[in-house]
Amino acid sequence: MDVKNIEDLEKVMRHLPSLSMVVADVLDAIETHGDDIDYISRKISQDQSLSSRVLRVANSPFYGMTRKIGRIKEANVVLGINAVRNIVMSSSIMEYFPDRKEGLDQYGFWLHSFAVAIAASTLAEQVSVDQDAAFISGLLHDIGKLVLSTFIHDDYQTIITQCEKEQSLILDMEQKVLGYDHAYVGSRLMRLWNLPDELVTTIRCHHELEKDKKYPKMTCLVHVADCLCRALDVGNPGDPYVQKVSPYALSVLGLTMHDLTEGIERVFENVSYAEGIIGDIQGVICR
């Protein structure tokens, strides 16, 4: 279908297949049987590819295991159900959007996205936000860029090129060229996939913080993590612009710039694992 406007794009997204049946079953099992490790482990083990991804990422340096995790049940016990859920979702969504040779730099995109996820998770405990929810919100905050790059490839290539020329934020260029942006598109996809409202709202509002009246701490946390990863020049979010941390976000989170300065070494140390995680996931996907 030739996508000419947001209405066309919404039609395309409505016809996209949802997450695979296996992944949907696993996520549903975690939601409904969160305390039944045996049941959830069996669900994951039914799919060899998914099991391989979970184990490979579980053994990455990010999780700091002192011994090799060899079974799905062991991963669920040692890492926790929520961490395994995040591995399942992140690896499955990466597989859902195969890399293209032109347009959005998908390796750089995922490197930035995982870095934001790790940064958000690292800071979450300090501001009393759930770490696992922070990880997945950080990971998927820019997922709309992948949708746009996939379905309006030529227009999005123009947007990326203009961002480089004008040193502008990709959000502003999207609005200028398309009349809508990746935050809106990403939130619509998450809604169509029946993912949690907190995730939908965070993605929608991570560039318009004060519009989020329901989950302001999560949205502000993702904004801060995004700013830190841009400042650290981790990955490629699609534009070269380094955003300033919003004073409003710091106020909502109860942080100061001094707090961020003190915590940035810890964030940088953890973010350094992002490249390894992507390699672990892609190593299984590309087999």
Average pLDDT over residues 218-240: 91
What is the four-CA torsion angle of 18, 132, 266, 207, rounded to 10 degrees?
A: 60
Calculate what percentage of the chain has a pLDDT beyond 70: 93
- The confidence score (pLDDT) of residue 198 equals 96
Neighbours of 201 (CB within 10 A): 22
Q: Evaluate if residue 34 carries a pLDDT over 60.
A: yes
Quick check: is 84 in a domain?
A: yes
- Can you give the C-alpha Rg of the chain in angstroms? 18
Q: Evaluate if residue 284 carries a pLDDT over 50.
A: no
Domain that holds residue 205: 6-285
Domain total of the chain = 1
Buried/exposed code over 11-21 (b: 16+ C-beta within 10 A; e: otherwise): eebeeeeebee
- The confidence score (pLDDT) of residue 279 equals 67
Quick check: is 195 in a domain?
A: yes
Calculate what percentage of the chain has a pLDDT beyond 90: 35
Q: What is the DSSP letter of 18?
A: -
- The confidence score (pLDDT) of residue 281 equals 65
- The confidence score (pLDDT) of residue 17 equals 64
**Which segment of 41-45, 85-89, 122-126, 189-193 scores lowest on mean pLDDT?**
85-89
Which positions ≥6 away from 156 have C-beta within 8 Å?
103, 104, 145, 148, 149
Quick check: is 17 in a domain?
A: yes
**Which segment of 27-31, 150-154, 233-237 scores lowest on mean pLDDT?**
27-31
Quick check: is 1 in a domain?
A: no
Average pLDDT over residues 31-42: 85
Quick check: is 24 in a domain?
A: yes
Quick check: is 160 in a domain?
A: yes
> Any idea what the CATH number is for the domain that residue 43 is in?
1.10.3210.10
Give the sign of the dihedral formed by CA 265, CA 270, CA 271, CA 272. Answer: positive
Average pLDDT over residues 266-276: 76
Quick check: is 180 in a domain?
A: yes
Quick check: is 25 in a domain?
A: yes
pLDDT tens digits, one per residue of 143-182: 999 999 988 888 899 999 888 888 888 999 999 999 999 9
pTM: 0.85
Cα separation, 146 vs 152, in Å, equals 10
- The confidence score (pLDDT) of residue 218 equals 98
Q: Evaluate if residue 285 carries a pLDDT over 60.
A: no
